[in-house]
Each structure stands twice: as C-alpha cells, then as structure tokens.
Structure 1
Amino acid sequence: MSTHQHDIAHFQHSHVFDAGNPTGERRTLAVLLITLITMVVEITTGWLTGSMALLADGWHMGTHAAAMGVALGAYVLARRWARDPRFSFGTWKIEVLAAFGSSVALGLVGVAIAVESLARLYRPTAIDTSTAFWVAVVGMVVNLICAWLLHGAESGHAHHGHPHHDDHDHDQHHVHAHEHGHGQAHDHHHAARDLNLRAVYVHVLADALTSVLALVALAGAATLGWIWLDPAVGLVGAVMIAIWAVNLGRASAHTLLDAEPNPNLREQIAHALQSDGDTQIAELHLWRVGRDNWAVIASVVASRPADAAVYHGRLAHIAELAHVNVEVQVCPSCAVHHA
C-alpha cells in the first residue's frame, strides 16, 4: 500500500454497527427443526380426527415454520453481508425486514383461522376428541420447549470495539468529523431490540396459544358435548394472534422507516453539544443502526465554534452512538446572549 493510500485508509472505518446474535441464530435453527417435525404430526392427526383446533395448530406451525426460515435466513444474510460496502449503515435491518414479513404472515394466519372457525360454527364437524387431545398436549409441550430455547437466546453476544475518530477540515467555516465504534451497547437491552428473534418468539407463542385453546375445546367437547367450543376458541386465538401481529408489525415498521423517537438520547446529545453556552443545534438527525446502536448527524452553529474534535469529545461518553457526523459552521449573529 502506498503512503497516499495508507493516509486515506486512516480516514476509513468499518460500518459493522451490529455484531448479530449468533446464539439466537443457532437456536432459531433448532426451533425450526422441532417445529417442522411437530407440524407434520399435528396436521396429519388433525385431518384424521376432524379437529379444527388441532388443524389450526398444525397449520400455524407450518406458516410459523416458514416465518422462522425467513428469520434464520435474515440472520445468515446479515452476517454474510456485514462488510458489504453496498450497505452504508450495516445489514442489521435485514433482520428487521424479516420481522416485518413475519408480522404480515402472522396476521394472515389469524385471518385464515377466523374464516375457518366461522365456517365451522355454521357447519359443526364431529371431532375424535381422545386422539386429538393427546396430540394437542404434545404440541403444547413442544411449543413450551421452543419458547424456553428462544428465551435463553435473548442476550446474544455483543461485540465491543474502540471508537474511531476522524476530523476533516474542509475550510475555515465548514468542518465535518466522523466517529465510529461497533457494538458499544448495553447487553441488557439486546433482547428487546432483536426484532427478528422477537418475531420467532411471537410465532412460537401463537402456536402455544392455539395448543392451549385446542385442549380447552377438546375437553369441552368430550365432557359436555359442546362441539361449537372448538371453532369458538379458534376465533379467540385469531384475535390474539392478530393483536400480536399488529404490535410486531408496528415495532418493525417504525425501525425500518427510522421513525423511532428517542427523546432521552436526543436530549443527552443536545445537552452535550451545547454545553459551552455558545453552540446551538441547527439540525439533529438520529436513527437506529443496530439493536442498541444509533447514528447521529448534527449541524451546529456558534459565534466562535470549537474544532470538530471537541464536539466529538463531548459525545464520547454516549455509548449508544456508533456513528457520529458533526457539521460545524460559524454564525456571528447566533451568539447566545445571557441576561
């Protein structure tokens, strides 16, 4: 590498803002395999016994297995393309996109269950309760095991690096600077922001819910002869699944559209940048680039501005900031007058 190239390389840095969740990836694969096996058993038994609740549970597992496959693929692609220059702010949102797709699939499942349950209410179907009951028990146990596996994967693994500072003086009045670090996150927030893992978890919970409702319906049909209870609990399950789908879709959509307000972090940044009493913020753009990592672009003005490195130093203590760009401009008439 020539001296010129080496000098340029000094101002270049990695844009891997999220280290991924390898534990979540491995356990998602395990849950997917378990789900596929149980799905085949439940659909076959539900069809033979005529249980709507059991069929619903089996088909849920099928659609959820597809969603889990998408989630697993998102983990793999985000990891494989982590250093691809096409992704200016990293690949973490591949996982978020998968979570949004899962929310859509989950919503469609809820609609399908509601439609079929209404049809069964109109035309009740006989149920072989004895066989269906025990298969529903197996399905519930499997779902609880899967939920436990995913719960243990929430913390994942955070990668900690050292921030990189680059200060570029373009001219006397216009200065840009960049600061980069990766994985400077708080581990205890990791689970809450892994929307991909959350999507898989919600699918498992939906399966567990339909298993429990299937048991309630089968027990009622066997002891009281209430055949109508089977499709009725199907409707209850459809409503619950729809609520979960909406919540997951809203959370992932907000992230994809960079519409996640973080007033506490924004206030912390503003307070740090304006701590000298002269600097004022003209623009402040803040968005998430990882589970717990944020990027910020700020434009500050001052009558006697400090060097760009000074402003970066004021933000160095904010661990969530993985990418910082500060634009500094002189504005003599913007001087803050104190009473």
Structure 2
Amino acid sequence: MSAGHDHAHHHQDHGHHGHAHVHAPANFNRAFAIGIGLNAAFVAIEAFYGWKVNSLALLADAGHNLSDVAGLVLAWGGTLAGKLPPSARNTYGFKRASILAAFANAVLLLVAMGSLAWEALGRFNAPVPTQGVTVMVVAGIGIVVNTATALLFMRGSAHDLNMRGAFLHMAGDALVSLGVVIAGALTLKFGWNWLDPAVSLAIAAVIVVGTWGLFRQSMHLLFDGVPDQIDLGAVKGYLQSLPGIERVHDLHVWAMGTSEVALTAHLVMPSGHPDDAFLKDINQHLHDQFDIDHVTVQVVKVPFTQPCQG
C-alpha cells in the first residue's frame, strides 16, 4: 500500500517539475476566465435587448450563448480536475475529467444544434418578422465575442481534445452570429423571412459535422481506445524490433487524459532480464517518437499469462 502511495507521490512531484507542463495551465486559466467573463456579459446584454424589442431570435440566441458559458465552465473544470494530484485512493488523479468534459461539450453542442434546427423548422411554417437592426447589432457583437474567445483556445485545440471542444463551441457560435447578421441584412433588403430559419439550419448542419469528430473521439477515449495520433502497429513493431525480444504480449495503449497517453506491455525475452539502461531507452524512445508519457513494461523469459488479443 505505502509503495503504491510513494509511487503516486513521486509521479505527482514529477508533474510539478516537468518543464513542459509549467507554462500552459496559467495561459489557459486566463483564457477560460476571459472567455467566461466575456460570454456571460454578452448573454446579459442579449437577453436584455431580446426582452426590450420582444425578439424571440435574440432570446433564443441568449439561451444558446448561455450553453457556451456552460461549455467553457465544463472545459475549465475538466482541465483543473485533471491537474489534481494522485492519491492513495485515486492513483491516476482525475486526469480522465478532461476527456469527460470534451464528451460533455460535444453532447451539449449537438443538443444545442438540434434545438436550433427544431426552432428553425417551426419558423418555416410561421415566419417571424425580425427586428432587423437591433438583432444585427447584437449578433455583430456576438461575432466579436465568440471569435475572440475561440482565438484564445486555438493554440491548445491542436494538441488537446478538451481545448478543441472549447474552441469548436466558440467557433461554432461565431458562425451562428455571422449567419444571423447576413440573414438579417438580406431580410431587411428583400423581405425574405424564410432566410433566417434557412441559414440557421445550414449552420446547424455545419456545426454538427464539425462536432461529430469531437463526439466520436471523446467517446473512443472514454472506452480506453487507442488515441487517434498513435499508430499501434508502429509501437508494436518498435518493441518487437528490440534486441533479444521474441514477442510482445498484452500491449495496451490508452489516454489517461486529453493530453497524456499510457502504455503497458509484456516483453518476452528468453535470454534473460535487461538492465535499467535498456528500459530507460524504451521509455525515452516511446516518449520522443510516439508522445507516450506513462510507460510500464514487464520483461519475462517465458510468458506465464494468457496472451491478450491486443
């Protein structure tokens, strides 16, 4: 028990001293705080003007933007929980919270787009005249707020699924606001009341297509799937190519969180046990070539466990 705890404690220390993890959290904490502040203020403004000019479109958009605030809070919560230190009861800490947050963000976006599409379909039957100029001005502010917030997360979205969830949520909303402005302008000019719901449907479709990847990937990681960026065949090939290794059994690769990958494997080595340098080289190579941080390998002369299909 105490040995496991010591290992957890050591791993926690390593996390604190690891140079790669020092700068990122502070930047994203600021990004989340700014993003949540901006979007909460925008929701308040939009709801007030929607109530003032009696615009269902603006009130609905304020509700939708409230889901953005929820999405950012989710992503931030996932990031912060993932940084909690491991303990004797949770030896991994809560790293998986970031995967859960990405999944919840994808579900939230898909539900929001479903409700937007439902609302739009209803409006084809009963077109609602829009209070053009007010709606366009408020939606214009929405473009600025959502684009600015999306840009805060752009840097992290390439490497971290949870950040990608926050980025997609914001970028999607900038698109919705842009659609409202264009539809509002054309409706004012030509009186096309059908254009507002048509544009809403088109945007909802675009965002659902964009979000589907996030939904699929986060679901895959929740079930301990091999992360998309890892070529399992190449990992197995590398381990089998090592001198003295006859076979690789029980190879498992999974995501501990949205930015940390773990690997366990049994290496069959009939000639005997290697020294620490051999194992250190494996760790180093897997880190440098495949970005796998948490490696545990067991070396045996004769396999004594039932080989896993993996």
TM-score (norm 1): 0.75
Residue aligned with 2:10, SS: coil
Identify which of 258, 263, 274 aligns with 1:307: 274
- Are the aligned partners of 1:297 and 1:326 in contact in 2 as well (CA < 8 Å)? yes
1:52-67 alignment, distance < 5 Å: 53-67=57-71
Gaps of 5+ in 1: 155-190, 333-339
Match of 2:135 in 1: 132
Match of 2:144 in 1: 141
- Are the aligned partners of 1:274 and 1:280 in contact in 2 as well (CA < 8 Å)? no
Q: How many angstroms apart in 1 are the aligned matches of 2:8 and 2:109?
A: 45
Q: How many angstroms apart in 2 are the aligned matches of 1:10 and 1:38?
A: 47
Shift of 1:137: 1.2
- Are the aligned partners of 1:295 and 1:323 in contact in 2 as well (CA < 8 Å)? yes
Instruction: Answer 1 or 2: which has greater helix percent.
Output: 2
| Shift in CA distance, 311/14, structure 1 to aligned 2, threshold 3 Å | same
- Are the aligned partners of 1:49 and 1:129 in contact in 2 as well (CA < 8 Å)? no
Q: Name the aligned partner's letter for residue 143 of structure 1.
A: N
Match of 1:43 in 2: 47
Q: How many angstroms apart in 1 are the aligned matches of 2:142 and 2:8?
A: 55
Identity, % of aligned positions: 28
Shift of 1:316: 3.2
Aligned length: 289
Deviates more, 1:265-274 or 1:284-293: 265-274
Deviates more, 1:218-227 or 1:299-308: 299-308
Deviates more, 1:194-203 or 1:318-327: 318-327
Structure number with higher relative contact order (C-alpha < 8 Å, ≥ 6 residues apart): 1
Match of 1:101 in 2: 104
| Shift in CA distance, 10/70, structure 1 to aligned 2, threshold 3 Å | closer
Shift of 1:27: 0.7
Q: How many angstroms apart in 1 are the aligned matches of 2:112 and 2:8?
A: 49
Q: Name the aligned partner's letter for residue 206 of structure 2.
A: M
| Shift in CA distance, 248/9, structure 1 to aligned 2, threshold 3 Å | closer
Q: How many angstroms apart in 2 are the aligned matches of 1:237 and 1:307?
A: 58
Q: Deviations over 1:198-233 (max 9, x none)?
A: 111111112101111001110111000001111111
Match of 2:124 in 1: 121
- For the aligned residue pairs, the C-alpha RMSD in angstroms reads 2.8
Q: Which has the larger radius of gyration?
A: 1
Shift of 1:268: 4.0
Corresponding position: 1:200 with 2:143: no
Match of 1:14 in 2: 11
Match of 2:95 in 1: 92
Shift of 1:9: 5.1
Match of 1:167 in 2: none
Q: Deviations over 1:285-328 (max 9, x none)?
A: 11223455322211122332333635413403222332222222
Shift of 1:93: 1.5
Match of 1:326 in 2: 297
Q: How many angstroms apart in 2 are the aligned matches of 1:112 and 1:281?
A: 49
Match of 2:308 in 1: none
- Are the aligned partners of 1:117 and 1:234 in contact in 2 as well (CA < 8 Å)? yes
| Shift in CA distance, 205/9, structure 1 to aligned 2, threshold 3 Å | closer
Match of 2:251 in 1: 284
Shift of 1:120: 1.1
Deviates more, 1:322-331 or 1:203-212: 322-331
Corresponding position: 1:254 with 2:258: no
Deviates more, 1:92-101 or 1:256-265: 256-265
- Are the aligned partners of 1:50 and 1:127 in contact in 2 as well (CA < 8 Å)? no
Q: Deviations over 1:24-47 (max 9, x none)?
A: 122112101100111122233234
- Are the aligned partners of 2:32 and 2:72 in contact in 1 as well (CA < 8 Å)? yes
Q: How many angstroms apart in 2 are the aligned matches of 1:306 and 1:24?
A: 44
Q: How many angstroms apart in 1 are the aligned matches of 2:6 and 2:193?
A: 72
Match of 2:33 in 1: 29
Q: Deviations over 1:38-90 (max 9, x none)?
A: 112223323444555544432221111112112222223233x2233333334
Q: How many angstroms apart in 2 are the aligned matches of 1:278 and 1:195?
A: 35
- Are the aligned partners of 1:278 and 1:302 in contact in 2 as well (CA < 8 Å)? yes
| Shift in CA distance, 10/142, structure 1 to aligned 2, threshold 3 Å | closer
TM-score (norm 2): 0.82
Q: How many angstroms apart in 2 are the aligned matches of 1:91 and 1:212?
A: 38
Corresponding position: 1:212 with 2:212: no
Q: How many angstroms apart in 2 are the aligned matches of 1:202 and 1:92?
A: 21
| Shift in CA distance, 265/292, structure 1 to aligned 2, threshold 3 Å | farther
Deviates more, 1:41-50 or 1:130-139: 41-50
Match of 2:262 in 1: 295
Q: How many angstroms apart in 2 are the aligned matches of 1:74 and 1:222?
A: 43
